[in-house]
Amino acid sequence: MPKLSLPQSWYKFDEALKTGGVTLVGDQSTLAKYLISTYFASFTCFVGLCVYYSLLTTKEFEVSDEYNLAGHTCRPLQKDADYGLQITYDECVSQYFVSPTVENLIRYGDYLPKVYDETTGAQHTDGPWNFNDFSNGMKYNYDTMTVYHKPFPTLSNQTFTFSEECKVPYYKGFDETNALFTANTLDYPLQYASMEASFNAKYGYNGYGYYGLCNKNLQIVDDFPSGNELIFEPNAPKTDFVTNCAGDGAFTDAMQSSLDSSGTYAFPHAYGNEFSIWIGEWNSVTNSYTSNIDDLSMRRRSIGITPLYPTATLKPASETERCSFYEKEISRQAYEYIYSYENCSPCDSFKHNSPFYCERDVHKGAAEIIALASSNAMAAMSFFIAVAPLVLMKFAVKDEEIGAAERAPDAKK
């Protein structure tokens, strides 16, 4: 039976070392120093590897319905339904959203007669100031004076479009605790106006509800208030419109007094389908538009604001009485009132654009770090020990050659 090749560690070398049958590859003192250096280098390698693996991360991902999943960075997997943009909520807030101001709001249309009466053959002025709706015979025209806000002007010409989760109440404070609350479309002015717009195919799918925004808590519990009771109060401190409108319309002291005491009206002008408006500068000489000032695009649930003037008869203002500052400032406050509600700010649309692709950097666990560092440090130590005979024998040969060279001159003498 052939002899087996047994592991070297199974042999006893003590007697062989004593008799000189087995010799070391180098001086014992040198070998001891090399072994200590090997242990030190291996330990240093272990510590370095622990630090390296503790800093090393891997990507972990998850598809979630939450836009801000804890510890993750999330991006939508598709464009949102309201603006057709594929951005995150944080990007919207920090980079793209532009708050409404008097300077950046866009005023379009007028209060002149717009609607053709098929019975009489005449045009008449029909608008939200009649406190009526489409189902009761009211017709709307997109040319009715409206102030628009483009929340993302660097990305899109689209006007403010409220999300399905946005619920501006019938009037401020009107909620499920009120006995009149039904949670249907009529309780929410934006949804109501949007529904009315969807009926108005003939005039571009735009429309109004029979009441506007009301930022005053009416505290009515016995019956629904009429449209003219749902007023919009300007923010405090009161703006001096007489001064700001000087040279731009005819805003009188009587109108200012009426506004301060009784408020005004701000109607959401809604769109029920895709629509666009090209705004140009009219040249009365050539009877044509000579330049493009702006473009507006709308889709279902897009909203503009039609402010009314504080007059006793609530008739629309004539062109000579109109004040651009008044119309834009009331509209600005109306937009801010809408945006103050949960899920109603333009950026809130991107919270609901699920699903989201979420990823995070994950560090290795302590046990894994120690295991990886130990195995690699032991591999390094094994290498150092394996090459020890080669290194020490090479140095021994060099020492012999140097010694022989030094002895050679003495031999010649």
Closest CA to 164 of 188, 135, 147, 145: 188
To the nearest 10°, report the CA torsion of 383, 386, 391, 392.
130
pLDDT confidence tier of residue 136, bands split at 50, 70 and 90: low
Instruction: Identify each DSSP E strand in 95-246 by its residue range.
Output: 106-108, 115-116, 123-124, 146-148, 206-207
Q: Is the pLDDT of residue 2 over 70?
A: no
Average confidence (pLDDT) over 248-255: 85
Top-confidence residue, 250 or 265: 265
133-137, 261-265, 399-403 — which one is most confidently predicted on average?
A: 261-265
Cα 246-251-254 angle, rounded to 5 deg: 130
Top-confidence residue, 239 or 111: 239
Whether the CA torsion 132, 133, 139, 142 is positive or negative: it is: positive
C-alpha span between 16 and 22 (Å, rounded): 5
b (16+ CB within 10 A) / e for 338-358: bbebeebbbbbbbbbbeebeb
C-beta of residue 65 within 8 angstroms of C-beta of residue 354: yes
Whether the CA torsion 78, 84, 86, 91 is positive or negative: it is: negative
- In this predicted structure, what is the pLDDT of residue 11? 66
Q: Is the pLDDT of residue 1 over 50?
A: no
Q: Beta-carbon neighbour count of residue 306 at 10 Å?
A: 26
Tokens of 171: 């009037």
Q: Is the pLDDT of residue 89 over 90?
A: yes
In eight-state DSSP terms, residue 92 is I
Element (H, E) at 268: strand 266-271
Give bridge partners of residue 159 from the DSSP assignment: none
C-beta of residue 381 within 8 angstroms of C-beta of residue 42: yes
